Structure 1
Amino acid sequence: MTLTPQELAQACADSMWAQDEATNGLGMVLQSVAPGQAVITMKVMRDMTNGLKTCHGGFIFTLADSAFAFACNTYNQRTVAQMAQITFLAPGFEGDVLTASARKIWKQGRSGIYDIQVTNQSGQPVAEFRGHSRTVKGTHLPDMSKE
C-alpha cells in the first residue's frame, strides 16, 4: 500500500499524537498537518501565567516546539530537535488562543531547518522560533513496502 505524501504526513501525526502526553496534557489541538508543515493551537490557561500575568515563555516555547516536532516528523522517519531558539515578540495573556504554524525551510540528508511563527487569536505575532532537526533510527509506521 502506497500513501500519498499528505496521507503519510497525517498517518505519522496520528501515530505521534496518540503517544504525546505533553502536548495533549497542555490542551493543545493539532489543527492541520502536511508534508513539512503543522499548525497547533493552545489556549492560555491561568496556571500558564507568570508573576507578570502573562503567558510564561516556557509554554510558548513548548507550543512552538510541538508544532516543530509534528512538522519534521511527517516523512515517516523519527526526527528530534537538535537545536532550537525563540524570540519573544509580544506577550500572551490568560484566555488567548495561541497558534504555532510550522513550515520546513530546508531538509537534506538527516538534517532540517523549520521556522515556526506563534500568533494570538488576532493574528498578531507573539514569537518566532527556529528549530534544527536531526533524524534518528526508526519510523512511525511499519514498512509498508513489504505488504
Structure 2
Amino acid sequence: MSQPAATDKSRAEAVKELMLQNDAFSKLLGLQVDEVGPGYCRLHFVVRPDMVNGFGALHGGVTFSAADSAFAFACNSHGRQSVGLTVTIDYLEAGKAGDTVTIEAREESLKHKIGVYQVRATNQDGVVLALFKGTAYRTSNEIL
C-alpha cells in the first residue's frame, strides 16, 4: 500500500517541477514551495517592502496570487491539467513587510471533473491572514 503513496508523491513533485520551470510570476513573488503531495501544497514567502499597499499592509493581490499558486500546485498534483473555475478569498488580518507568510492548500473533494480546495495564509506567529477557497475543473489532459 505504501508504493502507490510514494508514486503519488513522486507525481506531485514532478508536476511541481514542471510547473515551476515557466512560472515567472511565482518567482517574482519569491514563492518557495516547501511540500507538495496529492491534493496538497505548502509554500511560503517573505513580505518585501514592494508588496505592501499605501497603508503599509500586505497588498491583497499578493496574498491572492500566492494562494492561487498553492491552489494550482495542489489541484494539478494528480497529473491531470486543472484550471480554476471559481475562487473566493476572505482577508482576516493584514500582513506587513518582513512577515513570513505560509500558504497551505488542502484538497477537500476530488471527483472525476471537479476538485475543491481550502487554502490558508498564516504569518510566522500562526495568525490567519486569509482564507481562500478554490474550485478546479479537471481537464482530460495528462500533464506527465
Q: Scaled by the length of structure 1, what TM-score is found?
A: 0.91
Q: 1:42, 1:62 → 2: CA distance?
A: 12
The structural deviation recorded for 1:136 is: 2.5
Q: Name 1:121's counterpart in structure 2.
A: 124
The structural deviation recorded for 1:140 is: 2.1
Q: 1:96, 1:55 → 2: CA distance?
A: 9
Q: 2:46, 2:139 → 1: CA distance?
A: 32
- List alignment gaps of at least 5 residues for structure 2: none
User: What are the Cα deviations for residues 21-66 of structure 1, in whole angstroms up to 9, with x where unaligned?
Assistant: 1111111100100100000111111111101100010100011111
Q: Name 1:82's counterpart in structure 2.
A: 85
The structural deviation recorded for 1:139 is: 2.4
Contact conserved, 1:16 with 1:140, CA < 8 A, in 2?
A: no
SS of the aligned residue for 1:69 comes to: helix
- 1:98 paired with 2:110, answer no
Identical aligned residues as a percent: 34
Q: 1:32, 1:12 → 2: CA distance?
A: 12
Q: Name 1:47's counterpart in structure 2.
A: 50
Q: 1:12, 1:129 → 2: CA distance?
A: 22
The structural deviation recorded for 1:95 is: 0.6
Number of aligned residues: 140
* Residue pairs, 1:11-22, within 5 angstroms: 11-22=14-25
User: What are the Cα deviations for residues 57-83 of structure 1, in whole angstroms up to 9, with x where unaligned?
Assistant: 010001111100000011111111111
SS of the aligned residue for 1:63 comes to: helix
Runs of 4+ in 1 over 3 A off after TM superposition: none
- List alignment gaps of at least 5 residues for structure 1: 142-147
Q: 2:77, 2:89 → 1: CA distance?
A: 22
- 1:28 paired with 2:57, answer no
**CA RMSD, aligned part only?**
1.2
Q: 1:41, 1:139 → 2: CA distance?
A: 27
